[in-house]
Structure 1
Amino acid sequence: MAPAFRDGDRVLVRRGPRPAVGQVVVAERPAGGGTWDGPPVRSAAGAAEVRGREWLIKRVAAVAGDPVPRDRVRSLAEVPEERVPAGRVVLLGDNRKVSFDSGEVGYFPADRVLGTVLRRHTP
């Protein structure tokens, strides 16, 4: 997400309501092949459980019910559905040339989104 965010940045995240297109979110990084090890973080999870995962900062490109953005996301170019399926989101990094996002893994499960970034945190 450079230049907006860099590795190691701390952000304030609002957990709860599902994000909207254009918002920046924190999402759990898949382990490999677009899959995740174990269940998603519980909505009531404490800091220790959240810290035990790898996270990505991405921008929401489409949510369930939106048209599939085939023209912007190569991994979704051949999907049969016309709309993003329920429980899924399309996430893209601002620096597309080097971003690990829906371009590589397709849809992200909505329950793997921790929350919406409110601002960068400065201690």
Structure 2
Amino acid sequence: MEVALGVVTFFLGLFVVVRANFILVTIDGSSMEPHLRNGQKVLVSRIHRRWIQRGTCVLLDTSKLSARVRRATGGVRMVKRVAAIPGENVPEHLVEQIASQLCPVVPMEQFFLLGDNRNRSYDSRDMGYVPRASIVGVIVHTLMSDI
């Protein structure tokens, strides 16, 4: 009886730790195609958000951004790719697009995020730099798609 209780306690604790640190998200939309497709599932780690690097795909909570962005996005969570980290220059081919609204160097604790499908993405070109606090986590695994 004690062993069974110990096993149940162990698995309950493991479940709590996993739920606190990982989120299963379904991609909604085409802004990350061809890398991530509509309906595909990804595993997001809340732990890894401390170590965000250029090229990393992140889950962003737009409800924590400006009222303008919340209106444009509906305050949903979105997946985007990090194009520049704090202290880096915005990719040169995009500087002209953002020159009127943003400094070309990413400020501390903020990121420049882009969708892989540039023609169908609402991203830093539209919403500006994204604060670290708005990033929920980092995609650590993509699951097979049904499509």
TM value normalised by structure 1: 0.71
Q: Which segments of structure 1 move beyond 6 Å, counting only runs of 4 or more? A: none
Q: How large is the RMSD of aligned CA atoms in angstroms?
A: 2.7
Q: Which one has a larger percent helix, Structure 1 or Structure 2?
A: 2
Does residue 2 of the first structure (1) align with residue 29 of the second (2)?
A: no
Instruction: Note if contact 1:70-1:76 (Cα within 8 Å) is conserved in structure 2.
Output: no
1:34 aligned counterpart, secondary structure: helix
- Aligned length, in residue pairs: 107
3-state SS in 1 of match to 2:69: coil
Structure 1 counterpart of 2:117:
95
Deviation at 1:12? Answer: 0.7
- How do 1:31-50 and structure 2 match up within 5 A? 32-34=67-69
Map 1:1-123 to 2 at 5 A.
1-16=32-47, 17-30=50-63, 32-34=67-69, 54-69=76-91, 71-72=93-94, 76-79=98-101, 81-122=103-144
The 1-side partners of 2:114 and 2:59 are apart by 12
Structure 1 residue 18: deviation in Å? Answer: 3.4
Q: What is the identity percentage for the equivalent residue pairs of Structure 1 and Structure 2? A: 33
Larger Rg: 2
Which structure 2 residue ranges, 5 or more long, are not aligned? 1-31
Give, in whole Å, the separation in 2 of the partners of 1:8 and 1:59: 18
Is the Cα–Cα contact under 8 Å of residues 69 and 76 in structure 1 kept in the other structure?
A: no
Q: Deviations over 1:28-64 (max 9, x none)?
A: 135752358xxxxxxxxxxxxxxxx721111000111
Give, as a single letter, the amino acid of the residue that structure 2 aligns with 1:6.
Answer: R
Structure 1 regions of 5+ residues with no counterpart? 37-52
**CA 1:73/1:9 → structure 2, altered by over 3 Å: closer, same or farther?**
farther
- Amino acid paired to 1:116: V
